[in-house]
Amino acid sequence: MNNLEHTTKKIIKFIYVQPEVSVSIEKILRKFKWLNRDDLQSILHQMEESNFVELSPKSSFTFETVGTIDEGIYEESKNKKSSTLIFATHVSLTLKGKDNAEEQHALLLKARKELIAQPLVNSLISGIIGFILGYFFHSM
């Protein structure tokens, strides 16, 4: 798993556990301090194309350009002297994103059960049986 997939899964999990339906970009940036705003917008844009999240409401600001700019989240005006940068302020999970987060959560609970609960119960049962057998054979 590469770093982008790992970060995507972490962001989906973070959005899933939040009490509000729509999480602000600022809250995500505070949680993931190693990401800057441009990287996060790029990741969220890819997640929106994959239908994991929905970005809304879209805000924008206009700026003057010198030369050419990449396509994507930019819209160039007809006179080619000004461009508009479109960015989202809030993120909400789509049905596919919620299913992905619930699947990850179920796998986490299953792993906890197998790695923590079962060995603990097994050692408790073997301790009780050992105590009973030790008491029984010691009294003979």
Count of domains forming the chain? 1
Quote the pLDDT of residue 50. 85
**DSSP state letters, 92-127:** EE-HHHHHHHHHHHHHHHHHHIIIIIHHHHHHHHHH
DSSP state of 70: -
Q: What angle do CA 56, 60, 65 make, to 5 degrees?
A: 145
Quote the pLDDT of residue 14. 87
**Relative orientation angle of helices 3-17 and 95-112, to the nearest 10 degrees:** 90
Residue 76 · residue 114 · CB < 8 Å: no
Structure-block tokens of residue 83: 């461009």
Quote the pLDDT of residue 62. 62
Quote the pLDDT of residue 28. 87
Domain that holds residue 45: 3-138
Average pLDDT estimate for 107-116? 81
pLDDT at 133 over 70: yes
DSSP SS3 for 9: helix
- What are the pLDDT digits (tens) for 21-64? 888 888 888 888 888 888 888 888 888 888 888 887 766 666 66
Highest mean pLDDT out of 37-51, 82-96, 98-112, 122-136: 122-136
CATH number at residue 53: 1.10.10.10
Q: Cα–Cα distance between 123 and 137 in angstroms, integer? A: 21
pLDDT at 77 over 60: no
Q: pLDDT grade, residue 66 (50/70/90)?
A: low
